[in-house]
């Protein structure tokens, strides 16, 4: 009797496992940093590639403490102003891709908040110049970005929690202001720890590269897995606290050249060994890649393993409308017409 029921039992168990896996992949996607190399293609090309769910424009490098904000997009808009990017951003959004502005970065910028009030001022500046507010000098034009990414790696570590709370306070039922953070993998992150603990971030994409104690190296996944588990239970990230709704993503290099011997995971290792482990947590959010310039094939290879339901692939009807509207544009994918 029991022996006869065994196959049925196994079938039910595997169905349950598959359905919980699908559920955990539902909210996962691929984020890409764009903006730090003028030769990486524009945003039409980036978004038309259909492998990304989030495009993170990098970086607003200097701001706060009364400094004139400096938007550094490498060669993308020198010497012209960056306002022409507005229609490109809107194009990405029309495909269902969320577009963020990233604060900070690893360069020579100086992101420094001098007080909680300064954090409120910076939040208002970001709201008026990049989000749903108004200003007559919006650096990226009229396009309303979906959110703000915190990639603070220099400057000061104070008041980022105030900025995160103040920005999340601009969300309305009609339009959410999405917030993401890109901390280094060793815990706690020097710059972003207090901000992350607020629990207001929607996405935390941890940089599991250029950090030997917690990155993949030479076939060894132990450091990476231990650190991932610590992040999954971390305050502000774990979902056992009802107010926290943060998804956790694996931040990776898109090619070995992006940072030599610094944690690059070959695609097949990612697919066979790493994803099956990381996607076990209920708030698994997918993969973030550094950066568009280096992503010559990585995102294509891993896409269907991160989320087979490609954000832009299922928008064919929408594409036809766009094709019609942009019929003179050289950016269209021919096979979609
Ligand atoms: C959030 O918004 C409310 C209402 O607009 C305001 O009273 C409050 O001070 C804001 N809080 C923060 C942290 O900005
Ligand atoms: C989960 O996060 C909450 C706050 O967000 C914290 O109080 C709790 O200690 C965390 N759980 C673990 C296991 O760290
Ligand atoms: C949590 O986040 C997911 C994905 O962003 C969203 O669909 C869901 O509505 C959120 N839940 C709450 C309670 O905010």
Q: Which CATH number is 185's domain given? A: 3.20.20.80
Q: Which ligand 2 atom sits nearest the alpha carbon of residue 236?
A: 5
Nearest-10 Cα torsion for 213, 215, 216, 221: 70
- 12 part of a folded domain: no
Q: Which domain holds residue 43?
A: 27-329
Q: Is the CB of 27 under 6 A from ligand 3?
A: yes
- 14 part of a folded domain: no
**Cα 237 to ligand 3 centre (Å):** 13
Facing residues of 286 across strands? Answer: 29, 249
Facing residues of 111 across strands? Answer: 63
- 241 part of a folded domain: yes
Q: What's the rounded mean pLDDT across residues 41-64?
A: 97
Q: Which pLDDT belongs to residue 315?
A: 40
The residue that leads in pLDDT, 11 or 194, is 194
The ligand placed nearest to the CA atom of residue 246 is 3
**Cα 119 to ligand 1 centre (Å):** 12
- 55 part of a folded domain: yes
The ligand placed nearest to the CA atom of residue 239 is 2
Facing residues of 34 across strands? Answer: 57
Facing residues of 250 across strands? Answer: 206, 287
Give catalytic status of residue 40 as yes or no: no
Q: What are phi and psi of 40, to 5 degrees?
A: -95, 5
- 235 part of a folded domain: yes
- 147 part of a folded domain: yes
Q: How far apart are CA 102 and CA 190, in angstroms?
A: 18
Q: Is the CB of 238 under 6 A from ligand 2?
A: yes
Q: Which pLDDT belongs to residue 25?
A: 64
Per residue in 139-163, pLDDT (tens digit) is 999 999 999 999 999 999 999 999 9
Per DSSP, the residues of 170-182 read: T--SSS--EEEE-
Q: Which pLDDT belongs to residue 4?
A: 60
Q: Which pLDDT belongs to residue 24?
A: 54
Per residue in 68-121, pLDDT (tens digit) is 999 999 999 987 899 999 999 999 999 999 999 999 999 999 999 999 999 999
Q: Which pLDDT belongs to residue 210?
A: 96
Query: Structurally, how many domains does the chain consist of?
Result: 1
């Amino acid at each position: 009797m029991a022996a006869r029921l065994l196959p049925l039992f196994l079938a039910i168990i595997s169905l349950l496992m598959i359905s919980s896996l699908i559920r955990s992949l539902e909210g996962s996607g691929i984020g890409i940093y764009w903006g730090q190399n003028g030769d990486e293609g524009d945003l039409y090309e980036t978004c038309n590639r259909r492998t990304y769910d989030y495009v993170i424009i990098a970086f607003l490098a200097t701001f706060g403490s009364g400094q004139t904000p400096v938007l550094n997009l490498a060669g993308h808009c020198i010497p012209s102003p960056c306002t022409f990017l507005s229609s490109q951003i809107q194009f990405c959004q029309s495909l269902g891709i969320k577009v963020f502005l990233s604060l900070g970065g690893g360069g020579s910028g100086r992101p420094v908040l001098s007080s909680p009030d300064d954090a409120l001022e910076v939040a208002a500046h970001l709201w008026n110049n990049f989000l749903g507010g108004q200003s007559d000098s919006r650096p990226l034009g009229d396009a309303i970005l979906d959110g703000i990414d915190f990639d603070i790696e220099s400057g000061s570590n104070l008041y980022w929690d105030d900025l995160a709370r103040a920005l999340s306070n601009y969300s309305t039922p009609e339009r959410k202001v999405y917030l993401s953070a890109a901390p280094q993998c060793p815990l706690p992150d020097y710059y972003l720890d207090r901000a992350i603990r607020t629990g207001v971030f929607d996405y935390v994409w941890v940089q599991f590269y250029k950090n030997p104690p917690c990155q993949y190296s030479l076939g060894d996944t132990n450091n990476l897995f231990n650190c991932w588990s610590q992040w999954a239970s971390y305050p502000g990230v774990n979902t056992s606290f009802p107010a926290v709704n943060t998804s956790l993503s694996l931040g990776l290099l898109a090619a070995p050249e992006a940072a030599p011997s610094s944690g690059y995971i070959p695609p097949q290792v990612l697919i066979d060994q790493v994803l099956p482990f990381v996607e076990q947590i209920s708030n698994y959010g997918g993969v973030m890649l550094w950066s568009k310039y280096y992503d010559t094939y990585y995102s294509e290879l891993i896409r269907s393993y991160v989320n087979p339901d490609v954000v832009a692939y299922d928008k064919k009807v929408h594409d036809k409308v766009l094709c019609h509207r942009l019929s003179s544009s050289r950016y269209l994918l021919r096979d979609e017409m």
